[in-house]
Amino acid sequence: MTAVLPAERDLRRVIGDGEAIPDGEVEGLEERDLLELHRSMVLLRTYDERSVVFHRQGRIGTYAIFWNHEAMQAGSVYALERGDWIFPSYRESAIGLLRGMPASTILSWWRGHPAGWWNPLDWSVASICVPIGTHVPHAAGLAWGKKLRGESACAIVYFGDGATSEGSFHEGANFAAVMRAPLVLFCNNNQWAISTPLSAQTAAETLADKAVGYGIPGVRVDGADVLAVYAATREAVERARAGEGPSFIEAVTYRTAPHATADDPRAYIDLERVEEEKRRECLGRYEGYLRRGGVLSDELAESTRAEAAGALREGIAQAEAEPAPDPGLLFEHAYVDPPPSFEDDLMELRRILGDG
């Protein structure tokens, strides 16, 4: 039996508050790494804020906002190698940007356009998973496959606090642990699953405690601290590559935005807490850290934001320039033997669309 220590209870932190709590450092991170992390966070933040506007303008469909989740995504991806696999949920829809995927591809996905269907092999980024937790066994299987082939790559799978109540999460976590698959189980604990609070989700004191049951380490980090997230993920990746199997990271934050553009959280959320969390949101905190360390100037912050804004302007223009897909696509790939009614249905749809 593997000896497993109880999961860490305290939140790991590196970034101080500029007052009583001092700033820490992460060994091995140089100035250019710190700025690359900043660039990633600004790109994600810009993508997210523009997407809400694009949604309001009717240019993309319903969108899952990830404002204040950028530190979790940027910090963890920075701890990976290019060949490591990423399995995102809808909350990490834009994580491919950090691998160089064009913004137009992801915006096309949210437009329901086939130009948004990327080939996972091109980026080592799996498809965005909308069913809760079903990608955890996929990630476990891929990681195990890498191990069986003697390759050094590992995989990371992102899911929310709500996903830890799903059978597929348990199956994937247990399987990965038993097979010692090189997998990082990354839980974005934003304390809400739509309108279900964490207190109604689990009787466990922390989500990281669940790791103990699988015989793997569980750590808790401040999810709004990009450097703490990076350091925790780097440890988990090192463990995975050393053949020691999976780890569970619980990154704790608080959802400051609606679940998605179709949600009105005023009916259930603690609005005072939201305002408090907004004041300590992850990008502002990291910029404070960089400025205190003399790493970030106003000019650099401005040019990083301008670069990201340009990428999004170009991204939406490219996505909108895609020719409309053939409506026949809606009827393909669902059945080996499509029901006979499909032919009439497609003709009807084409007639309505004035498409022949």
Ligand X SMILES: Cc1ncc(C[n+]2csc(CCOP(=O)(O)OP(=O)(O)O)c2C)c(N)n1
Residue numbers at the binding site for ligand X (CB under 6 A): 91, 130-132, 159-163, 188, 190, 192-194, 259
Provide, rounded to whole angstroms, the least separation between the CB of residue 125 and ligand X.
Answer: 18
Assess contact for 291 and 22: CB atoms under 8 A: no
Report how far residue 255's alpha carbon sits from residue 193's, in angstroms, rounded to the nearest whole number: 10
What's the closest the beta carbon of residue 37 comes to ligand X, in angstroms? 22
- Closest approach, Cβ 198 to ligand X, in A, equals 8
DSSP symbol at 330: G
Q: Residue 250: which of ligand X, Mg ion, none does it interact with, CB under 5 to 8 A by kind?
A: none
**Of 116 and 160, which has the nearer Cβ to ligand X?**
160
Q: How far apart are CA 172 and CA 306, in angstroms?
A: 41
Residue number closest to Mg ion, CB atom:
160
| Contact criterion met (CB below 8 Å) for 236 and 184 | yes
- Among residues 47, 255, 285, 289, the one annotated as catalytic is 255
Say which entry of ligand X, Mg ion, none residue 63 contacts (CB below 5 to 8 A, set by partner kind).
none
Q: Which of 268, 273, 292, 313 is catalytic?
A: 268
User: Given the complex with ligand X, which of 84 and 161 has the nearer CB atom?
Assistant: 161
C-alpha distances in angstroms, 136 versus 17, 22, 186, 251, 328? 35, 37, 10, 17, 32
Task: Copy the structure tokens of residue 211.
Answer: 């790791």
- The interface with Mg ion within residues 189-208 (CB under 5 A) comprises 190, 193
- How much is the CA Rg of the chain, to the nearest whole Å? 21
Does residue 268 have an active-site annotation? Answer: yes
Residue 161 interacting with Mg ion (CB under 5 A): yes
Residue type for position 346 = L
- Catalytic site includes residue 259: yes
Beta carbons of 221 and 253 less than 8 angstroms apart: no
Q: Which two tokens stand for residue 232?
A: 């925790």
Question: Shortest approach of Mg ion to residue 189 CB, angstroms?
Answer: 7
State the residue number with the nearest CB to ligand X: 160
160 lines the binding site for Mg ion (CB under 5 A): yes
By beta-carbon proximity to Mg ion, the closer residue of 161 and 222 is: 161
- Residue 270 DSSP symbol: -
CB 85 within 8 A of CB 126: yes
Q: Which does 132 bind (CB under 5 to 8 A by kind): Mg ion, ligand X, none?
A: ligand X
We find the least distance from the C-beta atom of residue 188 to Mg ion, in angstroms, to be: 7
Nearer CB in complex with ligand X: 125/316: 125
Query: Which of 187, 228 has the CB closer to Mg ion?
Result: 187
Tally the C-alpha atoms within 13 A of residue 180's C-alpha that lie toward its C-beta.
10
| Cα distance between residue 225 and residue 264, in whole Å | 27
Residues forming the active site: 255, 259, 268
Please give the residue ranges that form the binding site for Mg ion (CB under 5 A): 160-161, 190, 193
